[in-house]
Amino acid sequence: MDKSRRTFTAGGLLASVSLLSENAQAGLASRTKPYAPSANAQAFVSKLGIRYPIVQAVIGGATPELAVAVAQAGGLGGLGLTWSPETEVRNYVTRVRTATREPFAVGYVLAFGASTLPVALDAGAPVIQFSFGIPSAEQVARIRQAGAKFGIQISNLPGARKAFDVGADYISCQGQEAGGHNQAQSSWHEHIDSIMAAAGKTPVLAAGGLSGGKDLRKVLAMGLSGGVFGTRFVASKEYPAHPEYHRRLLKAKASDTVLTVCFDGGWPGALHRVLRNPTLDRWEADGAKFESARPGVGDVVGRIGDMTFERYSIFPPFAVTTGQPEDMAMYAGLGVGEIQDIPGAGELVRRIWAECIKG
């Protein structure tokens, strides 16, 4: 396991981004009446206490500023805090809770546990988003005792049934279209009808390949309750991606993404969708070997202070990363070809909704 996996914490690495003006947000919100094109979408936004059925994926490296901007604009913002220590979890949740009264989510990858869940709930996290597993009865009880809600990422009908059995307030159906770490073995389109038939009143969201309002409109027209956007929010001002990462996102098209296990340093065997780059090309050309047989294994390609990131690390290049960011994992979903700019996250929420209702 490389040093970056042991020592990485977002709070110690990421540069602070200024919060959007609350007055500006309030003025824009007053001109945009809440609107949902379906009963399912209306039920979801009402249940979560948000204005629009737009969910920001709880991506690693997400800052409080990103979560606040999305929440203030009417979507469900989020923080991915699986690997963060207790002090950072408390600090991040408190910062978001102080900056906005709107709901937001804290995400945990259950493959690595959720040891800081009590800290997040104590600090006031209103929504918990789980992935790569089903929360235990004890974890669900803690959430309910705190008066919070929770969602679960699933990828097929058996997984959905497990989520329903533990009382999930909503589920997000991830497909292989999604960028980043991927638990799905097929497209979300293949399972969505059977999942929705079994869901009853539980809201079902689509996750994977969504980039704009037209995508959301299609999802809602199918009867789903909302959409999850990951790559689109990585391409925002509040997400602290390295300039090279942002540049690649603007240039890329769907065919530039690859579903692979190449960048699994720190998470052996993890499937993920990334942009093709020199590390992946070299690995593939050498026979797509594992572990110590990989070409250039152990090479340090990124640094943040005294922390190092090896060639096959799961971590992407952040704004303050030095070295060879072009050789690091750059996560992107199949909707990347529609991304043409790097706007503020609040503007993105409003744009997605405006495009959705315009048709």
Predicted pLDDT of residue 354:
96
Query: Is 60 exceeded by the pLDDT of residue 33?
Result: no
Predicted pLDDT of residue 139:
98
Q: How confident is the model at residue 38 (pLDDT cuts 50, 70, 90)?
A: confident
Q: Which domains, from first to last, does the chain contain? A: 3-238+340-358 (3.20.20.70), 243-337 (no CATH)
Predicted pLDDT of residue 42:
94
Query: Is 50 exceeded by the pLDDT of residue 7?
Result: no
Predicted pLDDT of residue 291:
87
Mean pLDDT of 191-214: 97
Name residues whose C-beta falls within 8 Å of residue 193's C-beta, 6 or more positions apart in sequence: none
Per DSSP, 202 falls in state S
pLDDT tens figures, 204-223: 999 999 999 999 999 999 99
Predicted pLDDT of residue 8:
35
- The larger pLDDT score, comparing residue 38 to residue 290, is at 290
Strands (E) across the chain are located at 54-56, 77-80, 104-109, 127-131, 149-154, 170-174, 180-181, 204-207, 226-229, 257-260, 272-275, 300-304, 307-310, 322-323
Secondary structure, 3-state, 142-193:
HHHHCCCEEEEEECCHHHHHHHHHCCCCEEEEECCCCCEECCCCCCHHHCHH
Percent of the chain with pLDDT over 90: 88
Name residues whose C-beta falls within 8 Å of residue 267's C-beta, 6 or more positions apart in sequence: 111, 181, 314
Name residues whose C-beta falls within 8 Å of residue 349's C-beta, 6 or more positions apart in sequence: 52, 54, 69, 70, 73, 74, 75
Mean pLDDT of 158-182: 98
Six-digit token string for 209:
């390949």
Q: For residue 1, give Cα distances in angstroms to 30, 264, 284.
A: 50, 10, 22
pLDDT tens figures, 97-107: 999 999 999 99
Adjacent-strand bridge partners of 128: 106, 150
Query: Is 70 exceeded by the pLDDT of residue 129?
Result: yes
Report how far residue 230's alpha carbon sits from residue 263's, in angstroms, rounded to the nearest whole number: 18
Predicted pLDDT of residue 37:
62
Query: Is 60 exceeded by the pLDDT of residue 23?
Result: no
* Lowest-confidence pick of 37-51, 147-161, 324-338: 37-51
pLDDT tens figures, 218-258: 999 999 999 999 999 999 999 999 999 999 999 999 999 99
* Lowest-confidence pick of 12-21, 146-155, 269-278, 333-342: 12-21
Mean pLDDT of 164-178: 98
Mean pLDDT of 146-170: 98
